[in-house]
Amino acid sequence: MEVQSPIIQKVAYSTGSKKVNITDTAASNIELRSPNGFEVCSQGSKYSNDSLLVPATVSSKNALTVTLTMSS
């Protein structure tokens, strides 16, 4: 089995929400080996250092979309 990095088609979130939906474009079904280990940058496109990363876990998943919930 060939493993590839995800190719993101769309990221959706609502201001003030702790949930982020990430939709993959190249896979037929996302395989999660762990719901932990994700991080989300809390400063939009102005990422400048690791202190801006917020831990996130998978709260739900369907074939191509993973919903992450940020812990802070």
> pLDDT, tens digit, for every residue of 41-64?
766 555 566 667 888 899 999 888
Q: Is residue 33 part of a domain?
A: yes
Total number of domains constituting the chain: 1
Q: Is residue 2 part of a domain?
A: no
**From CA 1, how far away is CA 3, in angstroms rounded?**
6
Give DSSP secondary structure letters for 50-61: GGGEEEEEEEEE
Query: What is the per-residue pLDDT for 8?
Result: 85
Q: Is residue 65 part of a domain?
A: yes
Can you give the residue range of the structural domain that contains 30? 8-70
Q: Is residue 22 part of a domain?
A: yes
- As a whole number, mean pLDDT of residues 32-49 equals 70
